[in-house]
Amino acid sequence: MLSGGAALKLSPNAMTVLEKRYLKRDETGKVAETSEELFWRVAEHVAQVDAMYDPSADVPATAEKFYGPMASLEFLPNSPTLMNAGRSLGQLSACFVLPIEDSMESIFEAIKNTALIHQSGGGTGFSFSRLRPKGDVVKSTGGIASGPISFMEVFDAATEAIKQGGTRRGANMAIQRVDHPDIMDFITAKADDSRLNNFNTSVGLTREFMEALRRDATYALVNPRSGDAVRRLRARAVFRKISEMAWRNGDPGVIFLDRLNESNPTPLAGEIESTNPCGEQPLLPFESCNLGSIDLSKMLVDGKIDYQHLEETVHCAVHFLDNIIDCNKYPLREIEEMTLANRKIGLGVMGFAHMLIRLRIPYDSEEAVNTAEELMSFIQESARQASAALAERRGVFPNFAGSIYDAPGRRKKMRNATVTTIAPTGSISIIAGTSSGIEPIFALAYRRHVLEGTGLLEVDSIFEEVALEQGFHSQELMKKVAKTGSVQKLEGVPAEIRRILATAHDIAPEWHIRLQAAFQKYTDNAVSKTINFSHDATREDVERAYLLAYDMGCKGVTIYRDGSRASQVLTRGVAEADRKRDTRGPRARPTVTHGVTEKITVGCGQSIYVTINEDQEGLFEVFATMGKSGGCMASQSEAIGRLISLALRSGIRTEVIIKQLQGIRCPAPAWQEGNIILSCADAIGKSMHRHVNDSATVAFAASTADMIARNLLGMCPECPDCGTMVEFVEGCLRCPSCGYSQCG
């Protein structure tokens, strides 16, 4: 551990993330806090809780004890704690689940509560299983129910309208039971990539369904309003549709509801119906959970796991996370009551892949599986010992009576209903300079886009470390790795090194699942993990993965097929070579054209300059230039301009082109003079529309209501903050450069 005066060693990427999202700012927006001050702010705030239980407690000593693991980047709590501890907002939890009952009052109360949670920096999970199906009767009005999907759209729009405390985007999990009458609509709800992009979705599979699937039988769909079975579906057909949609774009995932409730530590307090946005934290209605992760790559000494230091870090982390429960400012009274009643915490890990590489253990090996089980078993037992020690001093959690710990033969005093969770660690793993969660390395190198269009080659620290140590490091090799992110097909890298440097897409899905199951075996809550598939994987491959995960004891599964989201814009049909070629050509460009240039601000903080020129026949060409050159966005806007010009010069009607451009949405809409700009393409289309109508006051096609009613996040492969290509890990789109996460 670092002493209070030791200097922090943070990477440039870590400093970028801290400055962008975590460090305090003054009234002018200027950063007004160092990284050391951030960790002291958090440590001192959380340490004050000790005095609540022992007036003679040495709070400064506890603060220094908490500061050490954070400053050495050996342990970091979830992002809201780093952002808000010791500040006026004071909301420190990342995970919440809210109930939704089958009434208009409950639905819109949940929407209001969601807004409050997102505003405070948290993410929310819901089960929509209690809502009556589409077309069902509404006795109070004589009307017809619109069904759960319609209300999910409303939640989605509310989330889009609220940015989490200005630092985190709202994120939701929607779960629906497989026996709900509207299940097929739910499974296909995200077939269109532009819908429900503030939601992850998961189908809640029941034991009855899984048994019907094994027997190739039917199962009953039950109306939640009446409890009556309304019809039956063939389990195999439903399972194939789930697998097909996940194969297409990653949604929905699946969770195994009965398995969640088998390990529900407080069954008398309620049934678990939902999880947090990334699926690793099953929670009762109105529960929250505080998470934190230990960097396993920093738990090594002389090529071995230092279990003594790991145990000390676990005990410190459990103490820290338990204190958070008491110093937290909860967004709702009901959440405070339920959280204090169960006192759930979720200690997890990050840096697992980096640790394996340093130990020279391939990720896809029996040795890695055994190491995972050994490590997590030790962490869970140490965490339970730490919780039991706190219970002796502070008392058990209030719902202890009737909990699994109070059962005959298992009686053991515990301070916390749960102690372990494997969470995604998008931003905090960048701060720690380590691999994310228990995921393999996504890519060994990538290109990071910075200001003025400059591209910097970013190489994974562990890869550079191994390359230098083994003597095969070279700039030429780095350039080759940057193109693919992998060394599997590169000469000059020893075979044994290629074996341990396998990236996510180098590893077969079976090994992803086996590692998830290994960690799940010794985790109280659940495990956040993406099962990566190659682009040419089949739907049957996805089906086999789901069944393997179920058989191996996983609580849920998220899969992602490489490039599947981009492939959704493609359709199968007649090959381009078989189509009749159009020999039409564009009319020649005169030496002089006349036109205007309009500056429009778009949502990513840049300006786009739209130049529209005419010849004797009318609109002739369009140039679209970004305020800063270089990068994917600038090249795309230039390409749009060229294609518009080609269409205009080839005789395509202007209004047809405008209609195609207006309404296209990107992750970051903007406002200009009271009008909404949905994207660069939308800006160009509206500029052309104004030019044609010779008026700067032509109403925009999209209204404010339309913006709110439709989700604007889109599926752009670029990070909306820094321009780096995003990656799909731990069930969410995440930027490996600046820490942006679609899931908050």
Which residues belong to the active site?
276, 278, 280
Return the residue matching tokens 């070629």: 581
Q: Which residue has the tokens 């440039």?
A: 12
Q: List the Cα angle 30/36/37 in 5-degree steps.
A: 60
Q: In whole angstroms, how far apart are CA 666 and each of 44, 182, 426, 713, 737?
A: 41, 30, 22, 6, 20
**Helix, strand and coil in the chain, % to nearest 5:** 40, 20, 40
Radius of gyration, alpha carbons of the chain: 27
Contact 603, 677 (CB under 8 A): yes
Q: How far apart are the first and last CA of the chain?
A: 29
Burial tier of 223 (Cβ tally within 10 Å: 0-12, 13-18, 19+)? middle
Map 377-413 to HEC letters.
HHHHHHHHHHHHHHHHHHCCCHHHCCCHHHCCCCCCC
Output the CA torsion 536→541→545→547 (10° steps).
170
Give the number of other Cβ atoms within 10 Å of residue 97's Cβ.
Answer: 27
Would you give the distance in Å from CA 6 to the centre of its chain? 33
Q: Is 29 exposed, middle or buried (0-12, 13-18, 19+ CB in 10 A)?
A: exposed
How many C-beta atoms lie closer than 10 Å to residue 417's C-beta?
28
Can you tell me which residue has the tokens 């208009």? 104
* Euclidean distance between CA atoms 244 and 250, whole angstroms: 9
Tokens in use for 37?
């001050």
Tell me the C-alpha distance between 714 and 665, whole Å.
7
Residues 6+ apart with CB under 8 A from 536: none
Query: For residues 173 and 152, what is the distance between their CA atoms, to the nearest angstrom?
Result: 10
Q: Name which of 463, 558, 462 is nearest 509 in CA terms.
A: 558
* Cβ neighbours of residue 528 closer than 8 Å, sequence gap 6 or more: 278, 279, 280, 422, 423, 424, 437, 558, 730, 731
At which residue do the structure tokens 């948290």 appear? 122
Which among 241, 89, 109 is positioned nearest to 166, based on CA atoms? Answer: 89
CA dist., res. 380 & res. 348, Å (int): 9
**Can you tell me which residue has the tokens 């659940």?**
526
- Running DSSP on this structure, what letter comes out for residue 31? B
Spatial distance between the Cα atoms of 174 and 199, rounded to a whole number of angstroms: 6
Residues 611 and 338: their CA atoms lie apart, in Å, by 58
Q: How far is 131 from 101, CA to CA, in rounded Å?
A: 7
By the 8 A CB rule, do 161 and 128 touch? no
